[in-house]
Chains A and B, each alone.
Chain A
Amino acid sequence: MNLGRLVEERAKEYPKKAALIYEGKAISFEELNKNVNRLANGLKGLGIERGDRVAIMLPNTPEFVYSFFACQKLGAIAVPFNTMYKGGEILHILKDCGAKAIITLNSAVPLINEIKPDLPRLQYIITTGERSLTFADPESTVFLQGVLSKGIFKDLDDAYKGIGEALVQGLQELGLQGVWYKHRGSLRIGEKKLGGFYFSEIKDIYILNMICFLAPFDPSDLFSVIWVPPEVKDKVLEPLTSIQEELGRRPSDEEFKEAILGALEKELGIQLKEGTLTRDEKSSYKKYKAVAKRK
């Protein structure tokens, strides 16, 4: 008997009985077994073999269960670890176990990206779940986004480097000292995070999303939106800083814009021209906004 076999046997014994109940929906033992098989096949297709380590950084979702038992059927070793872990903690575990793949939330990708160059054995980042939370505050946050042709850059690393260098330049322009980022990582001063940027992709387009803290971020807002056990509140966020904390003053919108956009123009050799949405864009914009605001 092994854990892979256990799932198969329960599926035979109780095919129609609910094994997992998630968001009011039941997943039967038979469906569970099939989903585990699908993922096992998928992982096998990527080259995951018996004895390989597969890291799992997920909350208690059906995908955790599929991932854990898919590993068991493959004879691979599941390495589940704390979803609240940050940079150094994740790095140690992935390095120590030599994981070939990690299965995690979309929202954790920037954390993994930052340390990936130190993990030569990590080949695949497999993602699931729409569990990101972005906080926006008139005083403390500013967002820089981009919709860019992939062709502008040599590859994804080049995109991170181009944008990363420009952001560091721009922030220096504002008078900030010692801003740095690592590979595809967050913008930091010392060990504290000042902001972050990451790329998504769709077809031949990269979508850039950057957040920067202008003034201190009040985490109590976070806890009024999602319930977090009080004893782990300080573990939810990385140590943060902001331009105001580093510089002693908060830059105006114009100042920030000028510095960052100026650096982008210089670094990428482009010219930015203030514009608006086209007529075609305007109609779909309304639709997208309505979807996001739907309760």
Chain B
Amino acid sequence: MEWRLISNTKAEVADLYALPATVARARILRRYIPVLRNTADTIIIQRVAKKGVLAGSEVVVDREEAEKKGIEIAVRPKGGRKGARSAETISLQELMLKAKDKFTSEESQPDETAALIYTSGTTGNPKGAMLTHENFLAECEATSDIITTTEGDKFTTLVPFFHIYGLAIGLVVSLFRGCGTVLFPQYSPRQFLKRTGEERISILIAIPTQYHHLLLASKRRTITQSPLKYCISGAAPMPVMVIEAFKEIFGVDIIEGYGLTETTAAVAVNPQERTKPGSVGIPVKGVQIRIGDNQGNELPPHQAGEVLVKGKVVMKGYYNLPEETQGVLRDGWLCTGDIGYQDDEGYLYITDRKKDIIIKGGFNISPAEIEELLCSHPKVKEAAVVGQKEKEGREEAIKAFVVPVEGEEVTTVELIRYCRMRLASNKIPDAVELREDLPKSATGKVLKKELRQGYKDRRVIERE
């Protein structure tokens, strides 16, 4: 059988769409208009003459920037109902179009699971936290004193809805309050600042790195008449500096909260008028927090131990993992795995993750303490410290990963000397590695597991 071959080695990027679309159309028309010449099955081979991007119609591309870099842009038009679609898939739009707009809801009970949100541990696979209808609604109640709204308020969340913070606070709380939400499936800080004014966004939900990017994009000019009333930050610790700089430029407070996937987002929030820097605040309405020792006994103020949480926001358990669930849920108290303490007024301070603690010479060593010290070095931008097993022993060595400030040069010897002068001898890193950046999650948390020995990239597919 003979097929047609079309070679186009000096293609424009638009050809990547136009050529196969043309041939396909002719093939379909032929069925209805018999006088059209029969075209054979066709193979097209293409190479472009210039750099280019073929973008789906919903992708917001920065044409200005692309032009600067000499990148040609073409848009793949909306397929529509009659367009080509991925083989053997169902179109959501078509599914909706054919369906009635009335539906009688199932009478889900408060303790039925509404969502499974997968969360990673230090090792092993992510576990599915079972969050119930009651969990989400309890989070709405718990934050009612903090996320105060009036009828005209508009929310926006730069945090993805697949993250519990984006989902529970950004989506469910805004809906619960009857407020509108401006959606940004994809954003750039510059574009977002523009839209904030246009859309009159009054409440912003974001994570520390996003606030940092917004600050950079504002070029440190004071933004007058920003419609923002206040902002919420969560998912990772917020540097006090960013809060202060943000207040100076945008004239609004960033309220910092603390929570976990297992607690349907926030369990503690720094109250707007009585903020304590360095603290993640006091428990939200209906949530109890206490600090426990290894046996689960409650510790007095200022003593560090594991943070325990109780309340209606605490998950039902991990999906299909009764043992893991029992390991973290005891008499309604969730063992968070975070290490911290409370002051006399009940303000919570998070100092470490339990899973991050390094055991060396029989002592518990806090990576956070070493990281903080390294970051205080003027040439250091970021640091992450992990424990590494020594050969055949249980003894751990301390390894520091350091990102220098851009344009600065720093040596590992210099950094170790810096630590030696300021830390107890057993806390001095055994090795320092300089890096351009640290691996981070979508919410900007340093992924320490990727820095540990023997880390395996879980994204890859294995060949059997």
Which residues, 144 to 198 on B, are CB-close (under 8 Å) to A?
A: 154, 157, 160-163, 166-167, 170-172, 175-176, 178, 180-191
Residue of B nearest to A56 (CB): B162
Binary B-proximity of A68-102 (CB < 8 A = 1, otherwise 0): 10011111011111111111110111001100000
Contacts A143-B44, A205-B27 aside, 5 further interface pairs with beta carbons under 8 A come to A2-B107, A75-B112, A141-B48, A221-B71, A229-B209
CB of B186 within 8 A of CB of A80, answer no
B59's contact among A103, A133, A152, by CB below 8 Å, is which?
A133
Task: Give the chain B neighbours of A152 by CB distance below 8 A.
Answer: 41
Task: Give the chain B neighbours of A125 by CB distance below 8 A.
Answer: 86, 88-90
CB of B77 within 8 A of CB of A231, answer no
CB of B162 within 8 A of CB of A88, answer no
Task: Give the chain B neighbours of A205 by CB distance below 8 A.
Answer: 24, 27-28, 84
Residue of A nearest to B67 (CB): A224
CB of A221 within 8 A of CB of B96, answer no
Q: Could you list some 7 contacts between A and B, CB below 8 A? A: A78-B116, A147-B41, A224-B62, A232-B440, A281-B26, A285-B18, A293-B75
Instruction: Quote the shortest CB–CB distance from B138 to chain A (angstroms).
Output: 11
Task: Give the chain A neighbours of B75 by CB distance below 8 A.
Answer: 292-294
B213 lies within 8 A of chain A by Cβ? yes
A137's contact among B16, B48, B444, by CB below 8 Å, is which?
B48
- Known A81-B118, A207-B24, A285-B19: A144·B56 in contact at CB below 8 Å: no
User: A6–B75 Cα gap in the complex (Å)?
Assistant: 39
Instruction: Quote the shortest CB–CB distance from A167 to chain B (angstroms).
Output: 12
The size bracket of the interface on B is: 35 or more
User: A147–B28 Cα gap in the complex (Å)?
Assistant: 11
B54 lies within 8 A of chain A by Cβ? yes
A19 lies within 8 A of chain B by Cβ? yes
Instruction: Quote the shortest CB–CB distance from A223 to chain B (angstroms).
Output: 9
Task: Give the chain B neighbours of A264 by CB distance below 8 A.
Answer: 43
B460's contact among A36, A53, A88, A135, by CB below 8 Å, is which?
A88
User: A64–B458 Cα gap in the complex (Å)?
Assistant: 25
B414 lies within 8 A of chain A by Cβ? no
CB of B9 within 8 A of CB of A78, answer no
Task: Give the chain B neighbours of A43 by CB distance below 8 A.
Answer: 95
A168 lies within 8 A of chain B by Cβ? no
Residue of B nearest to A70 (CB): B103
Instruction: Quote the shortest CB–CB distance from A202 to chain B (angstroms).
Output: 4
B411 lies within 8 A of chain A by Cβ? no
CB of A80 within 8 A of CB of B162, answer yes
B58 lies within 8 A of chain A by Cβ? yes
Instruction: Quote the shortest CB–CB distance from B148 to chain A (angstroms).
Output: 18
CB of A130 within 8 A of CB of B56, answer yes
CB of B26 within 8 A of CB of A6, answer no
CB of A106 within 8 A of CB of B86, answer yes
User: A289–B71 Cα gap in the complex (Å)?
Assistant: 17
- Known A68-B171, A225-B73: A60·B137 in contact at CB below 8 Å: no
- Known A19-B181, A289-B18: A86·B459 in contact at CB below 8 Å: yes
Binary A-proximity of B425-447 (CB < 8 A = 1, otherwise 0): 00000000000011111101000
User: A95–B160 Cα gap in the complex (Å)?
Assistant: 23
Task: Give the chain B neighbours of A174 by CB distance below 8 A.
Answer: none
Task: Give the chain B neighbours of A45 by CB distance below 8 A.
Answer: 95, 99
CB of B167 within 8 A of CB of A19, answer no
CB of B103 within 8 A of CB of A73, answer yes
Residue of B nearest to A235 (CB): B442
B137's contact among A6, A239, A269, by CB below 8 Å, is which?
A6
A172 lies within 8 A of chain B by Cβ? no
A64's contact among B45, B115, B161, by CB below 8 Å, is which?
B161
CB of B68 within 8 A of CB of A224, answer yes
B133 lies within 8 A of chain A by Cβ? yes
